[in-house]
Structure 1
């Protein structure tokens, strides 16, 4: 029985508004996330995916394999990876066509070859095209060739590696004690030219010297040795960029003193 003078408890008929407001908030968040995913940038996605792969296992196998996933959106991510690979392959083929057209137009066939390998596009110059025997400086005609090729390579954001190769004939001068130094000096000359006159960013380039230890053919004849004396410009596929060292200085404070 109610006590005399006690006011009756009023029933709150507006409590449903709290649940409704929570539902609307969740729906808003859901659609914001869906909109963000629909506007994902392919390059940013690949960078994030590569970073996660290295953090969780040191390779990209977690992204490239594993079969069908029960996680919503996983199949779409795999399709995005495939689409990016196809797009890069088309870009590689375009670069090859453009360089090959330049080679054909200028009578360089047989001295300059352009191929697409697993690692990317490889533009291979016999040493007679760029350098006299035992020399690491580009002359006027070879500088023009490097500039023309560099203008084509500037279109791609991929890393570019310049590789110097020699034959097995020993060299021992004050500047080049061995073929290591000669091959590296030649690749460095090409890299400096690409930076100075083709406008390619230095952080995309690297120079490597292999000496006589990566021959195409056995060094048992003058013709074979000439094939082995070469400079290769390699446009690396995106999947190989994880093996390239990162720019650590970007992670340091801006006021960090330089050594």
Structure 2
């Protein structure tokens, strides 16, 4: 009698469950999300050159046409156009041209006084300034325009009548005290500026465009230690203010005023 023995089958152990498999999917998701944000950032960038380089590099990595295209560094280095800056530049150019034409007309109108050294026309960052020595406009220590000066100022008013720019009239004196009906140089300089403004208004210049300012002796253009310097400081400046100020330095169009050394 034979006895057959069966070998017992060894049971297979079940593979242990991997609880960290989700990290693989999570890592893939984070990688895709990062790539998405990189693409969105590149698209939102204004610099076209950098966008093209990124696009070519991405195409190269994916085996596309970008692998055979070299980045255009010239496009990368081109400045980004600024529409607002371009518009302001054009406005400044037109305004500067307009102010230059006005300065030329004023100098032509005041040519006799310019030639005598009593009037100076300048174009600066504020606009166009006509500096008139007080001896041309007023008697010493007075604020009433002389008959001769009214003709010259009316010619200036004719040019300014149809011009849209604001006009500021500034009165200046020397540092010598006044001895008349005015309490100080503040009153004298202010009344002189107001007198010129009143003449402009009577000549047809819109009042809302005009401003009268008295500076007394606080803005001298020469030394007050001698009669010649004090004579230069006694003046009235009519400034046509630029609508678009230009930061350029002042460019005189006529030599400095050299008036006779007379009183206030």
- Determine if the TM-score, normalized by the shorter chain, exceeds 0.5: yes
1:89 corresponds in structure 2 to 96
Distance 1:91 1:154 in 2: 15
Cα distance per residue 1:106-152 (max 9 Å; x no partner): 66540000001111111000001101110101121111111001111
Residue 183 of structure 1 pairs with residue 185 of structure 2: no
- Residue 200 (str. 1) matches residue 201 (str. 2): no
1:115 and 1:232 mapped to 2: Cα distance? Answer: 10
Aligned counterpart for 1:137 among listed residues 119, 123, 144? 144
Kindly indicate whether the alpha-carbon contact (under 8 Å) linking 1:127 and 1:229 is maintained by their aligned counterparts in 2.
yes
| Structure 2 CA distance for partners of 1:186 and 1:83, relative to 1, 3 Å | same
Of the two structures, which has the highest relative contact order with CA contacts closer than 8 Å and spacing of 6 or more?
Answer: 2
1:148 pairs with one of 145, 155, 158: 155
1:219 and 2:224 aligned: yes
Distance 2:179 2:240 in 1: 32
Deviations 1:78-97 (A, max 9, x none): 22211111111111111111
- CA deviation after TM superposition for structure 1 residue 173, in Å: 2.6
- In the alignment, structure 2 segments of 5+ residues that lack a partner are 1-78, 246-264
Query: Which residue of structure 1 lines up, in the alignment, with residue 105 of structure 2?
Result: 98
Partner of 1:157: 164
Asked if the contact 1:187–1:209 (Cα under 8 Å) also holds between the matched residues in 2, the reply is yes
- CA contact under 8 A between 2:91 and 2:244: conserved in structure 1? no
Task: Give the structure-1-normalised TM-score.
Answer: 0.61
Q: 1:85–1:107: structure 2 CA closer, same or farther, 3 Å change rule?
A: closer
Question: Which structure has the greater CA radius of gyration?
Answer: 2
Matched residues in 2 for 1:163 and 1:220: separation?
22
Between the aligned partners of 2:136 and 2:112, the Cα distance in structure 1 is: 15
Provide the TM-score with structure 2 as the length reference.
0.60
The structural deviation recorded for 1:238 is 1.4
Is the CA contact (8 Å cut-off) linking 1:103 and 1:109 kept in structure 2?
Answer: no
For residue 238 of structure 1, give the secondary structure of its aligned residue in structure 2. coil
SS in structure 2 of the partner of residue 94 of structure 1: helix
Mapped to 1, the partners of 2:113 and 2:180 lie a distance apart of: 34
CA RMSD between the two structures: 1.7
Query: What CA deviation, in whole Å up to 9, does each residue of 1:181-223 have, x standing for no partner?
Result: 00000000000000111x1111110000000111001101111
Runs of 4+ aligned structure 1 residues displaced above 4 Å come to 105-108
